[in-house]
Amino acid sequence: MFNKVIFAGNLTRDPELRYSAQGTPICSFGLAVNSSFKSQDGKEEVLFIDIVVFGKQAEPCSQYLSKGRPALVEGRLRERRWEQEGHQRTKFEVLAQTVRFLGSGGGGKRQTESAPAHGPDTYVPPPDDAIDEPF
């Protein structure tokens, strides 16, 4: 089977960084992807996607991305299922394998911070098998 997605869009919220019980960094954020297609009423369609980043690239994402900033995310789609208040819930999210920071984007608290010498805009994570998924 083949499971690979690539999205380019703007962050809908500032990234949230947390750590697993094993100490693995986990960063999550939302991405809004505008479609080139318009609905029947003439409005541009927008897809809202939850992104999860594990391992070494999670901390740079948390540090240098912010709400409104454009990013390109490459990864795989994952379905999560759980029960809440007696109802089955389902959610699709992207487990990022590569995150590229694009442009300076719309405002955001991190916009004025300087980037490190190695340049976060070109950050490429380790291969798939090196990314530790804690669950």
- Domains of the chain, start order: 5-122 (2.40.50.140)
Q: Would you say the pTM of this structure is higher than 0.75?
A: no
Question: What is the tens place of the pLDDT at every residue in 5-56?
Answer: 999 999 999 999 999 999 999 999 999 999 877 778 888 889 999 999 999 9
CA dist list (Å): 127 to 1, 49, 56, 130: 19, 23, 11, 5
Cα–Cα distance for residue pair 29/96, rounded to 1 Å: 11
Question: What is the tens place of the pLDDT at every residue in 63-82?
Answer: 999 999 999 999 999 999 99
